[in-house]
Amino acid sequence: IDVKSRPNLALWVTKDHKIYQKEESYPACGPEECVIHVKATGICGSEIHFWKTGRIGDCCVTHDIILGHESSGQILEVGSSVRDLQVGDRVSIEPGVACWECDMCVRGRYNLCPKVVFSGTPPSDGTMRRFVAHPARFLHKIPDNMSYATGALIEPLSVAYNAIRRASPYLGQPIVICGAGPIGLAAALCARAAGASPIVITDLEQNRLDQAYSMGFRKTLKIELGWDRLTTAAKIREVMGTACLPQLAFEATGAASSINSACYALEDGGTLVQIGCGKPDIEIPLMSMGFREINIITSFRYQQSWPVVIRLAAEGVLGDVDALITHTFPIEETVDAFETCVDRSQLAIKVQIVDE
Ligand code: NAD
Ligand code: ZN
C-alpha cells in the first residue's frame, strides 16, 4: 500500500509538561518545499527541557507544538519550483530555516538570522512526525551507503563541527572537552578528526565517561563538584600526561561548575569554546579569566555544515558516529523513547525514533 496513506503520527508537547502522540493531516507541499517521509529522528536534550520545564531561556512553550529537529528521510513530493531534488532522494534535514535576506544571512552567518524558523522550537512545529514539509534549500542529500540513522546524526554533529571550526584545533594540540553527552562526544569525534591529541573528556557521571572510553577516548576524568583550580589542574595534567595544561577547552554541559572546571583546566592564555547552554545568568570568573588572558569563543548551532559533515561521516573521517546511538524506537513508541531519555537506569546517549 501507498506509504502516504499511513497515519501521520506526530509527537506534541504541551505547556503543562505533557507529551502525547496524535495524528496530523498529511502536509501540503509548497512550491519551494519537499514533503519527506521522516525515517529517523534523534531526541535532543532541549526537547526534554521543553517537556519537563516548558522553556529554554526566553523560548517558552505557550501552546501545543510538534517537537523534533534531528531528522532524515526520503522525499515523497517535490514542490513546483524545486530543481535539485527528486522523489525518492534520501536527505538529512537542516532544521534552521534562515530568511536568506538579512545582513547575517547575506554574510553567511545565517545561524544568527533573527528571523530563523527552527523546527520544533516554539512557536514552530518540528520534524517528529511521519510526514513533514520542509524548504528544499535546507534539505541535503545523503549518499546511498549512509543510513537514515546516521543522516539524523548530522544535526548534533553539526553543532560539534561548528564549534571545532570556530576554534581550529591543530594536529597534536592537547584539548579538554567538558561533558560526555551527545554534544561533548560529537565534539570529541570532530576534534579527533581534526588532529587534536591528547583529548581529555570530563563528566560528573562515570557511565557517560564509560561511553567515551568505548568510543576510543581513553583519557577520561570524573570531575567532582567543589574541586578548586589547583586540584582540577593537577588532575587534568595527570590524565593528560603532558607537562603543560591544554590551551583549548570545549565546554559542552552549560553547567556553571563545568564552565569553571574548563577555565581551571586551561593554561594561561588559553581558549574556552562555550557550546553548552545553561541558565541565562551564569556567573563566570571573568576577572580571573581576564588576569589570565583566557579567550572565550561561543558557538551557536551551525551554518554551512551539512554538506561537509555528511561527507566527513560518509568517508569515515569522524570514526564510528553511530556509536552515539544507544536506543532506537519505532515511531509508534515515541513517548516511550522520551521516557527512556529521562530514565537514568537506561544510560541513554542518543535515542532515535525510526520508521521503515
Ligand atoms: P546532555 O545533558 O545529554 O549532556 C551533558 C553532560 O554533561 C552529561 O553527561 C552530564 O553528566 C554532564 N554534566 C552536567 N553537569 C556537569 C558538571 N557540572 N560538570 C561536569 N559534567 C556535567 O546534553 P547534550 O545534548 O550533550 O548537550 C550539551 C550542551 O550543549 C547542553 O547545554 C545543550 O543545551 C548545549 N547545546 C548547545 C548548542 C549550541 O548551538 N551551542 C546546540 C545543542 C546543544
Ligand atoms: Zn536572515
Whether pLDDT at 300 is above 80: yes
- Mark whether 81 and 107 lie in a shared domain: yes
User: What DSSP string runs through 180-214?
Assistant: -SHHHHHHHHHHHHHT--SEEEEES-HHHHHHHHH
What is the per-residue pLDDT across 243-257, written as a single tens digit (0 to 9) for each? Answer: 899 999 999 999 999
As a whole number of angstroms, the distance between CA 177 and CA 217 comes to 11
Mean pLDDT over the full length of the chain = 97
Better-scored residue on pLDDT, 34 or 280? 34
Q: Check which CATH number belongs to the domain holding 89 and give it.
A: 3.90.180.10
Our answer on whether the CB atom of 201 is closer than 6 Å to any ligand 1 atom is no
> For atom 17 of ligand 1, which residue has the closest CA?
258
Per-residue pLDDT averaged across 187-207, rounded?
A: 98
What is the per-residue pLDDT across 287-297, written as a single tens digit (0 to 9) for each? Answer: 999 999 999 99
Q: Give residue for cell 553539526.
A: 158
pLDDT at 58: 86
- Mark whether 147 and 175 lie in a shared domain: no
As a whole number of angstroms, the distance between CA 88 and CA 71 comes to 16
- Mark whether 184 and 269 lie in a shared domain: yes
For residue 71, which of 306, 278, 320, 317 has the smallest C-alpha distance?
A: 306
pLDDT at 57: 86
Residue 314 lies in a domain: no
What is the per-residue pLDDT across 330-341, written as a single tens digit (0 to 9) for each? Answer: 999 999 999 999
Residue 184 lies in a domain: yes
What is the count of structural domains for the chain?
2
Q: What is the ipTM of this complex?
A: 0.99
- Mark whether 181 and 126 lie in a shared domain: no
- Mark whether 134 and 164 lie in a shared domain: no
pLDDT at 280: 85
Residue 306 lies in a domain: no
How would residue 113 be classed by pLDDT, with cut points 50, 70 and 90?
A: very high
pLDDT at 172: 97
Residue 271 lies in a domain: yes
Residue 309 lies in a domain: no
Interval between CA 101 and ligand 2 midpoint (Å): 5
Residue 103 lies in a domain: yes
Whether pLDDT at 1 is above 80: no
- Mark whether 48 and 20 lie in a shared domain: yes
pLDDT at 120: 96
How would residue 224 be classed by pLDDT, with cut points 50, 70 and 90?
A: very high
Residue 104 lies in a domain: yes
- Mark whether 10 and 117 lie in a shared domain: yes
Atom of ligand 1 minimally distant from the CA of 56: 34
- Mark whether 165 and 146 lie in a shared domain: no
Interval between CA 166 and ligand 2 midpoint (Å): 20
Phi then psi for 272, rounded to 5 degrees?
-100, 125
Residue 170 domain boundaries: 159-298
pLDDT at 37: 98
Interval between CA 318 and ligand 1 midpoint (Å): 20
298, three cell numbers: 561561543
Q: Check which CATH number belongs to the domain holding 184 and give it.
A: 3.40.50.720
Q: Single out the residue in 251, 268, 298 at which a domain terminates.
A: 298
- Mark whether 268 and 235 lie in a shared domain: yes
What is the per-residue pLDDT across 266-295, written as a single tens digit (0 to 9) for each? Answer: 999 999 999 999 888 899 989 999 999 999
- Mark whether 275 and 173 lie in a shared domain: yes
Interval between CA 252 and ligand 1 midpoint (Å): 5
Our answer on whether the CB atom of 259 is closer than 6 Å to any ligand 1 atom is no
- Mark whether 144 and 186 lie in a shared domain: no
For residue 181, which of 212, 147, 220, 153 has the smallest C-alpha distance?
A: 212
What is the per-residue pLDDT across 125-167, written as a single tens digit (0 to 9) for each? Answer: 999 999 999 999 999 999 999 999 999 999 999 999 999 999 9
> For atom 34 of ligand 1, which residue has the closest CA?
277
- Mark whether 119 and 69 lie in a shared domain: yes
Residue 140 lies in a domain: yes
pLDDT at 323: 98
C-alpha distances in Å from residue 175, one per residue of 37, 164, 184, 232, 300? 40, 11, 12, 14, 20
Interval between CA 107 and ligand 2 midpoint (Å): 9
Our answer on whether the CB atom of 208 is closer than 6 Å to any ligand 1 atom is yes
